[in-house]
Amino acid sequence: MTTRTSEVCIIGGGLTGCSTAYALARRKCPVVVLERGFVGSQSSGANFGNLRLQFRNLKQLPLALRAQRMWEEIERELGESVEFAQTGHVMPAVSADHLRQIDEHAAACKPYGLEVEVLDRAETLRRWPFLGDIVLGSSFSPRDATVNSRLVCPAYARAARRLGAEIVEQITVTGVERIAGGGFRIRTDRDLVVECAHLVNAAGAWAGPLAAQFGETVPDFAAGPVQMVTEPVPRFVWPVIHAVDGGILFRQTARGNILIAGHPRVPVDAESRRTRVPPSKATMNMARLALIAPCMKHHNIIRAWTGIEGYLPDMLPVFGPSRTTEGLLHAFAFCGHGLQIGPAVGAVLAELILDGGTQTPIAPFAIDRFDDATVADKAKLKHEFDAEILERKLPR
Ligand SMILES: Cc1cc2nc3c(=O)[nH]c(=O)nc-3n(C[C@H](O)[C@H](O)[C@H](O)COP(=O)(O)OP(=O)(O)OC[C@H]3O[C@@H](n4cnc5c(N)ncnc54)[C@H](O)[C@@H]3O)c2cc1C
């Protein structure tokens, strides 16, 4: 059996794990990442690619703004393209309640330094004439952007490796134990044991049991946000279009395909790592598209997929130091928002490990914040998840 000693070991080579490894390696800190599949093979490589600032939970906005500054420099930083495109992001309103939400959110973002334009119906349809008659107005956030999620993790991993990080793929962590006197011993299904002073639990939808092993049980659950893509069509959509209630969102790639997503999220089997998109989701999404962008009603969907994402009932991640175990840090259950904040999550974790603290506010993400009543908004969750998921997972 080979035993490797490292300052830090990270379980999980998604964006959280890879961006943390990069941030640590940049500061010359020895780090090993252990990834069961290939880097970015789960949520981090299956996502929509949306780097959305507007309509983000305000508790996440300082972290998200830090991340957006990093995305704006990402290709220079990592030395390769991840198809970063600062297209902006439009949220069309189709009801008086949506208009009210838009006004309130734009005002709430201002103190954080995020400028969101509120547009009336005429201006919205002038700028994006393909939107349908049901649109009553919109908000537009010009700093919002997109990337190709399939490129991001491998780019982070390559950059981290160049700086000395060790990233081992196709290896499964099978057990973690405390070493007498401090630190951790991580066992794997291969001829490798890693001993480290700091352990980062970045195992995505599979992170809960490791936290529970250290007495930190959280009510996390897995679900799949449905994604679809059309055949390529001539370019006509520039920004991301995203209905205020999340019922439908779409964007066009540089190659012309239109990526489509929309609530509710579907059940997934995290244990077998198998997912399935019911065909009814395609007809539902196309019906919604026909209302918000009627010119798209005859586009053909050529592929549908989802991924296995970790969620918590208050729709915020667990992110920060363990409350029970020195040297252990958690970063998981990003609730469908972890791509955008990913670079800043890695930077903050490196600060926590190397500096013992961070200037970025992370208190709302503490692992010990849960009690039976911690549900963001039951009506909102009912709209966003298939009933089968909530029946099994939410406190009654
Ligand atoms: C379909 C979809 C669309 C999304 N769209 C967006 C979006 O547009 N914008 C946005 O900001 N976010 C989006 N998200 C969310 C975002 O993709 C995730 O929050 C983010 O990628 C989480 O990264 P992660 O590294 O924490 O988890 P993951 O990418 O899931 O990585 C965790 C890794 O841990 C590994 N692992 C688990 N257990 C073990 C073990 N025992 N041993 C070794 N390795 C292990 C897994 O193999 C996995 O690779 C979307 C998610 C999905 C699924």
How far does CA 226 lie from the centroid of its chain? 14
Give domain status of residue 61, yes or no: no
- What's residue 396's pLDDT? 47
For residue 45, the SS3 value is helix
Shared domain check, 165 and 131: no
Q: Is the CB of 34 under 6 A from ligand 1?
A: yes
- pLDDT, residue 395, reads 53
Q: How many CB atoms lie within 10 A of CB 171?
A: 18
| 244/179 same-domain check | no
Residue identifier of the C-alpha nearest atom 25 of ligand 1: 14
The CB of 13 under 6 Å from ligand 1? The reply is yes
Distance between alpha carbon 173 and the CA centroid of its chain, in Å?
Answer: 23
The reply to whether 68 falls in a domain is no
Hey, which bits of 48-107 come out as E strands? 50-51, 89-93
**What sign does the dihedral 351-357-363-368 (CA atoms) show?**
positive
Confidence check: pLDDT of 375 > 80: no
pLDDT of 393 strictly over 80: no
Q: Structure tokens of 338?
A: 């972890």
* 4: enclosing H helix or E strand: strand 2-11
Q: Is the pLDDT of residue 113 over 90?
A: yes
Q: Are 384 and 364 in contact (CB under 8 A)?
A: no
Domain endpoint, select from 306, 328, 355: 306
Is any ligand 1 atom within 6 A of the Cβ of residue 19? no
370 or 22, higher pLDDT: 22
**pLDDT, tens digit, for every residue of 135-180?**
999 999 999 999 999 999 999 999 999 999 999 999 999 999 999 9
Angle between helices 338-354 and 149-162 (to 10 degrees): 20
Please give the distance, rounded to the nearest whole angstrom, from the Cα atom of residue 172 to the centre of ligand 1. 16
- Cβ of residue 42 lying under 6 Å from some atom of ligand 1: yes
Alpha carbons 92 and 243: distance in angstroms, whole number = 5
Question: Does residue 359 sit within a domain?
Answer: yes
In percent, the amount of the chain with pLDDT more than 70 equals 98
Distance between Cα 64 and ligand 1 center (Å): 17
* 156 in a structural domain: yes
- Same-domain check for residues 296 and 319: no
CA distance 274 to 211: 23
Let me know: does 329 contact 353? Beta carbons within 8 Å: yes
* Gap between the Cα atoms of 93 and 245, Å rounded: 9
For residue range 289-302, list pLDDT tens digits in order.
999 999 999 999 99
What total number of domains does the chain contain? 2
DSSP for 293-353? -GGGTTPPEEEEE---EEE-TTS--EEEE-SSSTTEEEEE--TT-HHHHHHHHHHHHHHHH
292 with 345, same domain: the answer is no
337 and 357 both lie in a single domain = yes
Q: Is there a single domain that holds both residue 233 and residue 366?
A: no
Q: Are 74 and 80 in contact (CB under 8 A)?
A: no
Residues 26 and 161 in one domain: yes
Q: What is the pLDDT of residues 115-147, one digit of tens each?
A: 999 999 999 999 999 999 999 999 999 999 999
User: Is residue 259 included in any domain, yes or no?
Assistant: yes
Query: What is the longest distance spanned by two Cα atoms in the chain?
Result: 69
Beta strand 31-34 with 166-168 is parallel
**What sign does the CA torsion over 283, 57, 154, 269 have?**
negative
- Both tokens of residue 84? 């970063």
- Two tokens at 3? 């035993």
Same structural domain for residues 136 and 243? yes
> What CA–CA distance (Å, rounded) separates 356 from 287?
51
Q: Is pLDDT of 61 > 80?
A: yes
User: What tens digit of pLDDT does each residue of 317-374 get?
Assistant: 999 999 999 999 999 999 999 999 999 999 999 999 999 999 999 999 999 999 755 6
One-letter amino acid for residue 280 of the chain:
S
Strand partners, 240: 89
For residues 136 and 177, state if they share a domain: no
Whether residue 300 is found in the same domain as residue 321: no
Indicate whether 361 belongs to any domain: yes
Q: For the domain that residue 271 is a member of, what is the CATH number?
A: 3.30.9.10
Question: Phi and psi of 131, rounded to 5°?
Answer: -75, 150
Would you say residue 171 lies in a domain?
yes
Nearest CA to ligand 1 atom 46: 12
- Does 24 lie in the same domain as 42? yes
CATH of the domain at 25: 3.50.50.60
Q: What are phi and psi of 16, to 5 degrees?
A: -60, -50
> What is the gyration radius of the CA atoms in the chain, in angstroms?
21
Domain span holding position 114: 89-142+225-306
68 lines ligand 1 (CB under 6 A): no
Same domain, 137 and 229: yes
Beta bridge partners of 385: 265
Average pLDDT, the chain: 95
Mind giving me the DSSP string for 163-225?
TT-EEE-S--EEEEEEPTTS-EEEEESSSEEEEEEEEEE--GGG-HHHHHHTT-----EEEB-
What is the whole-number distance in angstroms between the Cα of residue 310 and the centre of ligand 1? 8
Q: Is 173 in the pocket of ligand 1 (CB under 6 A)?
A: yes
For residue 33, tell me if it sits in a domain: yes
Of the listed ranges 189-193, 283-287, 373-377, the one predicted with least confidence? 373-377
